[in-house]
A and B are shown apart, each in its own frame.
Chain A
Amino acid sequence: SYELTQPPSVSVSPGQTARITCSADTLPNQYVYWYQQKPGQAPLLVMFKDTRRPSGIPERFSGSSSGTTVTLTISGVQAEDEADYYCQSADNSGSYILFGGGTKLTVL
């Protein structure tokens, strides 16, 4: 088994760039997915296969991967981006599907 490690919180001012990381020793061999969850709402997929953005997700959301760390970057953060963000990964067979602990993004 493995764990996905995220920082508990990230704070940025409007217009700045927010970077949320997700780390695990197994990540060089697995894709990471990112979900945004606003209070009282279901999670929403905002990034898949490390760097691919689903349709309808603003271009200010991007993803990158380097070694054992995958990063969700939000450029030009807006107030509406304030939410909890969760990374998720899985082994190739789907036997282990795991969420990170979540990161609360605060827009100051």
Chain B
Amino acid sequence: EVQLEQSGAQVKKPGESLKISCEGSGYRFPSYWIGWVRQMPGKGLELMGIIYPGDSDIRYSPSFQGQVTISVDKSINTAYLQWSSLKASDTATYYCARLDSCFSCWYFDLWGRGTPVTVSS
């Protein structure tokens, strides 16, 4: 079965660090971009950045550059999203999603179930 398995819900305090994961299975993981999408409570979808597991090429959306780190370990088919110092405003559900791409087309055809992150003192 083709799927993206995300790590579980997290409750953290402001200032703490966090790394969440997204493991792909059932397809050739290195050959597809993976994106991380934030959804704050009651709000819309925001793309944070994308990574190509084959060569670790990373593209951050301007709003998230310097705020998070996206990485990948293709040997275990897993992408990561990490924070060095969380803020209360990082409270959200974070989705990983596979990007299908061709010339002039980029879209998310497979989604993980999401990782809820709560940051509260």
Contact = CB atoms under 8 A, between A and B. Distances in A.
B37 to A, nearest CB: 8
Nearest to B46: A99
A48 B45 contact: no
A79 interface: no
Contacts of A44: 111
Nearest to B59: A95
Contacts of A31: 104-105, 107
Contacts of A92: 103-104
Interface residues of A, number: 25
Contact residues on B (Cβ < 8 Å of other chain), bracket: 20 to 34
B92 interface: no
A10 interface: no
B53 interface: no
Given A45-B107, A45-B109, 14 more contacts: A31-B105, A43-B45, A43-B95, A45-B108, A48-B107, A86-B44, A90-B106, A90-B107, A94-B101, A97-B35, A99-B44, A99-B46, A101-B44, A102-B44
Interface of B: 33, 35, 37, 44-47, 50, 59, 61, 95, 97, 99, 101, 103-109, 111-114
13 contacts: A31-B105, A42-B112, A43-B95, A48-B105, A86-B45, A88-B45, A88-B107, A92-B103, A94-B99, A94-B101, A97-B35, A97-B106, A101-B44
